[in-house]
Copies of this chain bind each other. A is one copy, B any other.
Amino acid sequence: MKVVVVNKAGFCFGVKRAIEQAFEIAKTEENVYTLGPLIHNPQVIEALRGVGVKVAGDIEDLAANGARTVMIRTHGVTREEMARLAEGNYKIIDLTCPFVKKAQHYAKLLSEEGYQVIILGDIEHPEVKGLRSYAGENAAIVKTSEELSEIKPKTGIVVQTTQPVDSLKRLVAGIIEHTKELKVYNTICSSTALRQKETQEVARAVDVMLVVGGKNSANTTQLAKLCESLSVPTYHVETAGEIRPEWLGGVRKMGLTAGASTPDWIIKDVEKALKDMGGSKK
């Protein structure tokens, strides 16, 4: 069995930057917390806990535990949370991904310029909750144009950084005829777009796809969905230990990809496990 690894699998710029800084900060600061998990990968969060970085569920949690240093997760927090944190007596380290920051800025700008803001994204995702807090009261959060009950003549779009570009294409094509003025900030992160594109290319050429990363990671589950949409049998695991030998029965070529929040050591672990099961890297 050949194993084809997607080039862009694993840590993106924003995640790498945040993780490196978090480990550095843990060396010197005391009572360090992140507000919500820093990234969506349970194994990395566990490793951070090992060096003393704890996760607070909300701002009340921070106060109750006497937090001193608070790190803002890569997905960002809401405008209100940021304001409340600033009022507290914390040392704040903002590790929001710079691309998410940019999307927040554009959401605010569109709202200020009088556009009805549409956020293309997952309503439950913390990044989207953050974007909404900047986009004004009437912002709509959708995945498709069909979900919109009303489209205003002056509409603005901002996008969760990990959305697939095809969703954006469909959204703009679906609403353009109902608008007079449409302003779109294509805030899809280029590294995400590239990872999705390469993953699709590999998925088309293999018998089975293995997607590695947090089950709670939006961009990782997105990769799995993209592979499934190409009718390739797809398995999503967080660690090597979850791989089941029966998945490999009769497989000549397997594709391997990983989300932006999946650390290199987990990818290497998975590669090693596949090798032990008879795989050879192509």
Contacts and interface: CB of A to CB of B under 8 A. Distances in A.
Given A177-B188, A181-B186, A182-B186, 16 more contacts: A165-B176, A169-B173, A169-B176, A169-B177, A170-B173, A173-B173, A176-B184, A177-B193, A179-B186, A180-B185, A180-B186, A181-B183, A181-B184, A182-B182, A182-B183, A183-B183
Interface of A: 165, 168-170, 172-173, 176-177, 179-186, 188, 193
Contact of A172 (B173, B185, B188, B193): B173
A172 B181 contact: no
Closest 5 CB pairs between A and B? A169-B173, A173-B173, A182-B184, A165-B177, A183-B183
Nearest to A106: B181
A183 B183 CA distance: 4
A181 B115 CA distance: 14
A181 B183 CA distance: 7
Contact of A186 (B177, B184, B186, B193): B177
A185 B153 CA distance: 10
A172 B168 CA distance: 10
B176 A185 contact: no
A181 B185 contact: yes
A183 to B, nearest CB: 5
A14 B169 CA distance: 33
Contacts of A188: 177
A188 B176 CA distance: 11
